[in-house]
Structure 1
């Protein structure tokens, strides 16, 4: 009789954990978007010529890459928060954004003169990019790591890194509305470095707070 009661209690706890985990991730992503938006509009805001920029492919392409990264990374982070996650089968989900960016870089190199490549890569806002993407993303990353604690990731460092990618993609999406450097060469260089900072912080943070 005691064994049956124990089994029932464990089953009830498992059901509550699953519901709690879904609620935690839903709440975390909504709060992360709201927090990133608040930081962005408080510190930067959209570029003055955003209406004209929105008519260009390069400007819109930035959002295609960053939104794809944030969405695919968030889905993967949710999967990796479960102990039964198949890492090898799950990781290809994250390849969409890099593939888009690689295609954009190839197209940029094909249609622009070689003597302009260096200037397009360096841009005019590299330091601003490296500062504000991590600054916008650090709060959302903390929220995602807190949500990760409601799961039981078998690879907490990897799950944290993917949470960092999610926060980085979200922060980069907002920052892209301010950035006047629209070249895929600039995005591939400086956005990637800035997002990598959050990815590293996510991996380090998760190994401390999401271990079980």
Structure 2
């Protein structure tokens, strides 16, 4: 069967038939979050002052950024599992998380003396950030790629990149619970490195794994 014929047949499936890949993707996302959370709890656990930190805007900002990224990437992935589902996808939504982070960083720059900006950006735990964000995101990446294989994406590399962003958002969320550095400048400097690393791995893996 030719590719265009397969696309036509898949696109013509009934809603009940087409719900199966979306359901598997949802279950995969839930399972990957549970595994990433278990990895965090069994390794480093949440920071000792977690309960007190929740009452601060800088700590909460980290979760606003990471959860927004994971959610917007997941919504795009729900389109990616179907043939040509990404052709008219609202890719602008993926910029919501960076916008939140940039706004928080601007507030931080206004609040802190210029002499402390560098210290806030470097933080005390940057090497953990570079290691643990990708580490906690590995299970979501692998499970997400598996779930996407159950569909019929026509943009394998882009879809793999989106899986990586979702995995990065999940990994960064659980790392944020352990991370003692709450400054938006630290988050802006280091979190995207681990997240984009997973995005790159996802794109390369998607090009090989998600091709028809």
* Alpha-carbon separation, structure 1, partners of 2:123 and 2:88: 37
Which residue pairs with 1:19 in the alignment? 19
Aligned to 1:66: 66
Paired position in structure 1 for 2:158:
158
Hey, what's the Cα distance between the residues in 2 that align with 1:195 and 1:68?
Answer: 13
- Evaluate the alpha carbon distance shift between residue 150 and residue 180 of structure 1 in structure 2; reply closer, same or farther with a 3 A threshold: same
Stretches of structure 2 lacking an aligned partner (at least 5 in a row): 1-8
Contact 1:21-1:147 within 8 A present in 2 as well: yes
- Asked whether the 8 Å contact 1:80–1:87 carries over to 2, the reply is no
2:133 pairs with 1:133: yes
Once the 2 structures are TM-superposed, how far is the Cα of residue 18 of structure 1 from its aligned partner? 1.7
User: Unaligned stretches of 5+ in structure 1?
Assistant: 1-8
Superposed displacement of residue 81, structure 1: 2.2
RMSD across aligned positions (CA): 1.9
Deviation by residue 1:103-162 (Cα, 9 ceiling, x = unmatched): 011111111100000000000111001111111101111000001101211211111101
Distance 1:94 1:11 in 2: 25
2:111 is aligned to 111
Cross-structure match for 1:5: none
Q: Report the Cα distance in structure 1 between the residues aligned to 2:19 and 2:88, rounded to whole angstroms.
A: 26
Residue 181 of structure 2 is matched in structure 1 by 181
1:25-80 CA-partner distances (Å, limit 9, x unpaired): 02101111111011111111000011111111100111111110110111111112
State which structure, 1 or 2, has the greater radius of gyration over its C-alpha atoms: 1
Structure 1 stretches of 4+ moved >4 Å: 9-17
TM-score using structure 1 length: 0.90
**Residue in 2 that maps onto 1:205:** 205
8 Å Cα contact 2:136/2:171 also seen in 1? yes
- Offset at 1:13? 7.1
